[in-house]
Every structure is written in C-alpha cells, then in structure tokens.
Amino acid sequence: MDFAGKDKATYVKETFNSIAGHYDLMNSLMSIGMDKRWRRIAVRHVGAKSGMNILDVCCGTGQLSMELGTAVGSEGNVTGLDFSQNMLDVAEHSLEHFPYRDRIRFIQGNAMEIPFPDHSFDGVTVGWGLRNLPDLRQGIREMARVVKPGGKVVSLDMAKPTFPGFKQAYWLYFERLVPLMGKIWAKKSSAYQYLHDSAREFPSQQELVRIFNECGLIKTNYVNLAGGVVAVVIGTKPKN
Ligand SMILES: C[S@@+](CC[C@H](N)C(=O)[O-])C[C@H]1O[C@@H](n2cnc3c(N)ncnc32)[C@H](O)[C@@H]1O
C-alpha cells in the first residue's frame, strides 16, 4: 500500500487528524446508520457489565467507548486510547453530554505499546482499529497482555463477505462510492481511498480468528454482521 513515502503510523495519524471533524458523519453515511448497532453488538460480546473496567483501543471519536460507558454505568470505568489528538478532541467534545462522563477518560497513546501494566482490564475492545496498525499481531498481543485472565479481547472491523453477487456489489460500492463520498463530504478522497485499500488488505474474519489464536487467545470465534461486511472477532485470555 502507498503511504505517500511515510511510515504507516505517521501516514495513519495524519490521515485521522485530517478527517476527525467529519469522521462520525462519514461513518454514519457509509454504514447507512448501522455503525451504532454494530458497536452495541461488540459491547455485548466483550461482556461489558455494570462496574467493569474496559479499555477501548484506537477509540477515535469515542463512539464505542461511550457505548461501553453505558454498559458499565456509574460504577465502571472506560479508558479510550488513541494516538490522534484531533480524534480525541472530538471524543472529549461528544462526552460533554454523556451521562457517565466522569467514568470515561480518553488518553493519547500508541496501541503498539499500550501504556498499562499486564492484567489491568476486565475486557478490551478495538473498533475499526487493527487494520491501521503497523504490526497487527503486536497490537493483538498488547491487548491480550493488558486484559485480565478470563477477560475478552474483541475486534469490530470490516470483513469479507462471501455470498456470490453480494460480495461483488459490496466491493464495487467500497471501491467507487466510498472515495467519492469522502471527496464530496470530507473533501478527502485519498483518506477514503486508504479506507478501501486497508479493508482489502485486512485479513478475513476467519484468518483473524487464527491470528487471535496465534497471539495466545482461546475460545476464539467470529460473528458476521450485515452479511459479513463487518465482523466481530472474539478471543479470551487463558486463566493460567
Ligand atoms: C477508523 S478509526 C476507529 C475509531 C473508533 N474506534 C470507532 O469505533 O469509530 C481508527 C482509529 O485508530 C487510531 N489509530 C491508528 N493507529 C493507532 C496506533 N498505533 N495507536 C493508537 N491509535 C491508533 C486512529 O487515530 C483512529 O482514530
């Protein structure tokens, strides 16, 4: 993939800094408003419940962190981690009207070196984040390191639909329409071209399950959403 002569992390950080103001709107448009529902499903799969302490890696504008915040309530805690300050600024702004805003903190940091000790969280999520990392396995190993034994690591991301006809229509939509929408609404077709290219290169949901296993997670599984356009991939940290 072409990162305009930069290393991937620099390119990705600059890209998200540049689209932060339009990110939530573009997400809703591209997913036809389904992104909120998909995030709620990810929250269910990580097992977020009242009083839990959850980490949301690559939290961006904090939409998944706030869904987690609703699940853990006034007794729990959610930490959103992202390296793009502009995305975090949008997250902080959205938090102003959130009922449990005191229970959520957003911090700037690198998913490749999560700044927390081993076994810190009851669950760890990442939404549309893994494919942006320079080393996917290192990112998953870091999430597995900071979750407590018995806790879950959950990724929500683009996946690969397989149903004939639907599969072709989906890639046509993604290849042609998504960059065009990015050009019209966010004035950034290159950023949305990156979105397409990174989704193409990202492992399928079945491959990601295997990678979760390689990274030491057990009871791995995936759940297709919207016909496999998006999938939730789940793994558990062993207890011993
Ligand atoms: C597509 S956005 C996802 C935002 C959010 N999780 C959501 O549900 O909409 C990807 C985010 O990953 C962040 N990111 C990419 N690489 C990162 C890294 N190495 N460390 C921390 N954040 C990273 C980007 O800054 C961006 O905010």
Tokens 């992390």: give the residue.
Answer: 9
Interval 183-196: pLDDT, tens: 666 666 677 678 77
**C-alpha of residue 240 to centroid of ligand 1, in Å:** 31
Interval 10-62: pLDDT, tens: 999 999 999 899 888 878 877 788 999 999 999 999 999 999 999 999 999 99
- The dihedral of CA 14, 96, 80, 205: what is its sign? negative
Q: Which residues are CB-contacts of 179 (< 8 A; sequence separation ≥ 6)?
A: 189, 192, 193, 196
Determine the structural domain holding residue 79 and report its residue range: 8-158+203-236
Pairing mode of beta strands 147-158, 230-236: antiparallel
Residue 185: per-residue pLDDT? 61
Asked if residue 172 belongs to a domain, the reply is: no
Classify 44 as helix, strand or coil.
helix
Number of domains in the chain: 1
> From the CB of 83, is ligand 1 less than 6 Å away?
yes
Asked if residue 107 belongs to a domain, the reply is: yes
In terms of pLDDT, which residue wins out, 26 or 114? 114
Comparing 84-93, 165-174, 205-214, the range with the smallest average pLDDT is 165-174
CA 70 to chain centre: 18
> From the CB of 111, is ligand 1 less than 6 Å away?
yes
Asked if residue 139 belongs to a domain, the reply is: yes
> From the CB of 136, is ligand 1 less than 6 Å away?
no
Asked if residue 195 belongs to a domain, the reply is: no
> From the CB of 62, is ligand 1 less than 6 Å away?
no
Asked if residue 98 belongs to a domain, the reply is: yes
Asked if residue 165 belongs to a domain, the reply is: no
Work out the mean pLDDT of the chain and round it to a whole number.
91
- In the chain, the amino acid numbered 64 is L
Residue 56 maps to which CATH number? Answer: 3.40.50.150
Asked if residue 91 belongs to a domain, the reply is: yes
Asked if residue 183 belongs to a domain, the reply is: no
Q: pTM value?
A: 0.93
pLDDT band at 198 (very low <50, low <70, confident <90, very high): confident
Residue 199: per-residue pLDDT? 82
**In angstroms, rounded to a whole number, what is the distance separating the alpha carbons of residues 215 and 236?**
11
Ligand 1: residue of 10, 40, 58 to mutate (most ligand atoms within 8 A of CB) is: 58
**C-alpha of residue 219 to centroid of ligand 1, in Å:** 26
Segments in 131-204 forming alpha helices (H): 136-146, 166-172, 178-181, 189-201
